[in-house]
């Protein structure tokens, strides 16, 4: 099958046909490094890491750019409130985001440019826009003339008369619908020289410039959260195309992480930081949870949903380790046709996970039947599929974190001690003790299976408590 993606711009499913055969160019709007990363921030990183891995699996040479916004009103405000230099505040939280991405197994981008590193290119684009009649300078500011671009609003569906940029009126702005490309310098704020006076760039300008600088005037895919469709991505399209660039050919947007139906944000006070989440579940389980829903859908957070996802992953993981213990090694195999069909259908991860669980079920049956070679092959398929989702338990990344095999080995020793006690009770016809052992294991999320070769166990859904 051909990879098909839902394009926000056309609101249709489209076959992916790269501009350059054999190469896929992708730009992802990265973090505004104003504070600690929460799971709402990093969902896009996980979702589009799956896209990148699937493109690589299709043998594309993937050019993947993820920017860092290191100059912004929010950064300046929060740094000032904390009494710290803006650049130090931004750098500190940039490192926090890097750490979160690394912990969750997100592949590092081909390049990760900072906005402050591309001021020269921003000035060049603004000059092109002014020369073409799409921007104007006033009182040291530079604004984009929205009415001058007839296709404005196409991506978001906004009508020109209903546009509200969500920014201050601005000195010298001719029309409240216009948006800021360059902000005139203010006392005690960072600024750079320009032909229109010292100042700093507007948020929208930086992504247009960095995408063009690293991927060219036209490239394949632009990704980001659905909250960026308007005004950020609408404004990116306007300024890039008005300056003469073809810009992105496909637009992909991921849904929010919500809490009580509201978008997770600092303003709502419902932030779930990545460091805090990693005290609840392992990094691989958090990644599995964040990537388990379709990327375009909302992901409603609850402790139960998180722990259920962690338990689901543990059941898959337990099969892989059981097969490894019996077979001695599990080489990475090939994903199934059902898995490929699911991901080729706009990265339909829920369908892909259903296929993984089907293979795990067959694998556990093979282990019970002592069909070790079959179980080994099936576990290799599971590894291949989990590898695309970034959660292969035997991947060195997760093994290096020490949160897979050692924990399961220790758990296996403890569970088998309980199973031996249960078996002794059954042989003595002490059914009350045998049932009590089984009930205790089930309450801890461990399902006991009785087979012709003796009792076995697999991680299941707990009655209460955490997933670890």
pLDDT tens, per residue, the chain with 468 residues: 699 999 999 999 999 999 999 999 999 999 999 999 999 999 999 999 999 999 999 999 999 999 999 999 999 999 999 999 999 999 999 999 999 999 999 999 999 999 999 999 999 999 999 999 999 999 999 999 999 999 999 999 999 988 889 887 678 999 999 999 999 999 989 999 999 999 999 999 999 999 999 999 999 999 999 999 999 999 999 999 999 999 999 999 999 998 877 777 766 555 789 999 999 999 999 999 999 999 999 999 999 999 999 999 999 999 999 999 999 999 999 999 999 999 999 999 999 999 999 999 999 999 999 999 999 999 999 999 999 999 999 999 998 765 544 455 556 666 777 887 888 888 899 998 888 888 888 776 677 777 666 777 765 533 333 333
Question: Residue 238 in contact with residue 132, Cβ under 8 Å?
Answer: no
In 3D space, the residue among 268, 264, 208 whose CA is nearest the CA of residue 44 turns out to be 264
CATH of domain 276-459: 1.20.120.640
**Rounded to 5 degrees, what angle do the CA atoms 332, 333, 334 make?**
135
DSSP-assigned beta bridge partners for residue 221: 26, 250
Question: Residue 445 in contact with residue 462, Cβ under 8 Å?
Answer: yes
On the question of a common fold for 4-254 and 276-459, the answer reads no
> The domain 4-254 is classified under which CATH number: 3.40.30.10, 3.30.565.10, 3.40.50.1970, 3.40.50.620?
3.40.50.620
In a 3-state reduction of DSSP, which class is residue 102? Answer: helix
- d(CA 49, CA 33) in angstroms, rounded, equals 20
Question: Hey, what's the torsion of the CAs at 38, 41, 43, 49, to 10 degrees?
Answer: -120
Phi-psi region of 247 (alpha: psi -120 to 50; beta: other; left: phi over 0): left
Domain ranges of the chain: 4-254, 276-459
Match 């805090």 to its residue by tokens.
Answer: 276
- d(CA 28, CA 48) in angstroms, rounded, equals 8
């Amino acid at each position: 099958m051909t990879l098909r993606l839902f394009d926000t711009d056309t609101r249709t499913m489209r076959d992916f046909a790269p501009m350059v055969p054999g190469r896929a160019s992708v730009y992802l709007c990265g973090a505004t490094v104003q504070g600690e990363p929460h799971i709402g921030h990093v969902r896009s990183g996980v979702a589009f890491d799956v896209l990148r891995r699937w493109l690589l699996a299709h043998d594309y040479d993937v050019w993947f750019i993820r920017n860092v916004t290191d100059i912004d009103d929010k950064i300046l405000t929060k740094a000032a409130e904390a009494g710290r230099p803006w650049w130090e505040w931004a750098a500190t939280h940039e490192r926090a985001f890097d750490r979160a991405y690394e912990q969750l197994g997100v592949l590092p981008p081909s390049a990760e440019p900072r906005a402050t590193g591309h001021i020269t290119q921003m000035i060049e684009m603004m000059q092109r826009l002014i020369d073409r009649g799409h921007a104007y300078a006033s009182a040291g500011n530079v604004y984009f003339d929205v009415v001058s671009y007839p296709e404005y609003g196409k991506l978001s569906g906004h009508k020109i008369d209903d546009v509200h940029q969500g920014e201050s009126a601005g000195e010298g702005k001719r029309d409240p619908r216009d948006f800021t490309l360059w902000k005139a310098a203010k006392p005690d704020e960072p600024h750079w020289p320009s032909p229109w006076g010292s100042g700093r760039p507007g948020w929208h300008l930086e992504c247009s410039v960095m995408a063009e600088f690293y991927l060219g005037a036209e490239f394949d895919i632009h990704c980001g959260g659905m909250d960026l469709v308007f005004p950020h991505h609408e404004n990116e399209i306007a300024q890039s195309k008005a300056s003469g660039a073809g810009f992105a050919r496909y637009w992909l947007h991921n849904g929010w992480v919500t809490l009580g139906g509201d978008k997770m944000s600092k303003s709502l006070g419902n932030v779930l930081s990545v460091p805090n989440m990693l005290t609840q579940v392992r990094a691989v389980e958090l990644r599995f949870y964040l990537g388990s829903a379709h990327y375009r859908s909302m992901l409603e957070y609850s402790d139960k949903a998180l722990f259920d996802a962690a338990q689901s992953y543990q059941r898959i993981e337990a099969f892989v380790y059981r097969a490894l213990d019996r077979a001695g090694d599990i080489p990475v195999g090939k994903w199934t046709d059902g898995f490929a069909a699911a991901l080729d259908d706009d990265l339909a991860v829920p369908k892909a996970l259903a296929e993984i669980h089907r293979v795990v079920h067959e694998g556990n049956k093979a282990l019970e039947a002592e069909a070790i070679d079959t179980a080994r092959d099936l576990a290799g398929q599971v590894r291949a599929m989990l590898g695309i989702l970034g959660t292969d338990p035997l991947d060195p990344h997760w093994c290096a974190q020490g949160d897979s095999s050692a924990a399961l080995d220790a758990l296996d020793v403890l569970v088998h001690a309980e199973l031996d006690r249960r078996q002794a009770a059954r042989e003595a016809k002490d059914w009350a003790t045998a049932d009590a052992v089984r009930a205790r294991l089930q309450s801890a999320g461990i399902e006991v299976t009785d087979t012709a070769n003796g009792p076995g166990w697999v991680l299941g859904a707990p009655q209460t408590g955490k997933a670890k």
